[in-house]
Amino acid sequence: MNIQKVGIIANSSKESAVDYTCRLSEWLIERGLDVILDEEIAERAKAYRGVVREELADLVDIIVVFGGDGTLLVASRSVRGRDVPIVGVNLGGFGFMTVVNLNELFSAMELILTGDYTTSKRMMLDASLKHDQEQTAKHSVLNDVVINRGNLSSMINLETFVNDQYLSTFKADGLIISTPTGSTAYSLSAGGPIVLPDLNSIIINPICPHTLTNRPIMLPPDAVVKVVLWAAEENATATFDGQVSVIMKSGDSIKVKISNDYINLINSPHHNYLEILRTKLGWGGLP
């Protein structure tokens, strides 16, 4: 790919994001490239062209995201379905998707600009929420859909079907329906498996189930998962990628399936996925 235009999305609440956005923009412009910023960081940088985030993917060849995985999840919603690759730059958090460290930024960009990089095509999930048989919300996620008891005092019952076949009614604090990308997020904290990103699958993971034999299940990518909530109280929630939340009522259902949309993440030019996994989780190296 001949890269001529670079977009930047950043966590504008972090001062370091403003600083590195300006530094990278100047570095790119010195090399004859055009730079277009997400309007939020453009307002903070006060020196470069900014556009609405949803328009950015149609105007650039690649997008650089400064922040953590949360910032990258925000970016994924605005670029999903486009082929424009995204490189995540970690501003110091734990992120698994922001694979370029700050001290590697310019050396990594040198390689990326010459085309010396690979990408990872990340599947997404489409989720639709129904109340009284009418669709009330629809969201696409890169990480997960989570049904949670919220501030309820008791467990909730989650009647779960796969391809219209009854699986189980989980009596639990909640249920996580995750992509492989999301397997290292909330699902991992809840005891779920780590699934490599290129293994397209859907993970169902109950949160603190009453029945201890309830365990995470991996499903093929063509599976359609339907979950019906049954609760004696109100205020259970459905959360999409941990950033959008809606209240669910008893009898409401969520249907989740693989999306036609996806995002392309640029892999680190300096580290492979297993090395990143080992480093982030603090696993031991060679003896």
* SS3 per residue for 129-191: EEECCEEEEEEEECCEEEEECCCCCCCEEEEEEECCEEEEEEEECEEEEECCHHHHCHHHHCC
Read off the pLDDT of residues 46-57 as tens digits, 9 standing for 90 and up: 778 899 999 999
Provide the β-strand partners of residue 230: 157
Domains along the chain? 5-118+267-281 (3.40.50.10330), 124-260 (2.60.200.30)
Catalytic residue among 38, 69, 144, 252: 69
Asked if 140 contacts 125 with a C-beta cutoff of 8 angstroms, the reply is yes
pLDDT-derived band of residue 251, with 50, 70 and 90 as boundaries?
A: very high
Read off the pLDDT of residues 65-79 as tens digits, 9 standing for 90 and up: 999 999 999 999 889
Average of pLDDT values for 217-233? 94
Whether 69 is catalytic is yes
- From 71-80, 87-96, 116-125, 184-193, the region with the lowest mean pLDDT: 87-96
Higher per-residue pLDDT: 233 or 258: 258
The share of the chain scoring above pLDDT 90, in percent, equals 79
Average of pLDDT values for 239-248? 94
Dihedral class, residue 241 (left if φ above 0, else alpha if ψ from -120 to 50, else beta): left
pLDDT-derived band of residue 152, with 50, 70 and 90 as boundaries?
A: low
Kindly give the pairing relationship between strand 134-141 and strand 85-90.
unpaired
CB within 8 Å of 190: residues ≥ 6 apart: 176, 205, 206, 207, 208
Kindly give the pairing relationship between strand 253-266 and strand 156-162.
unpaired
- Model confidence pTM above 0.85: yes
Kindly give the pairing relationship between strand 62-67 and strand 85-90.
parallel
Q: How much is the pLDDT for 49?
A: 87
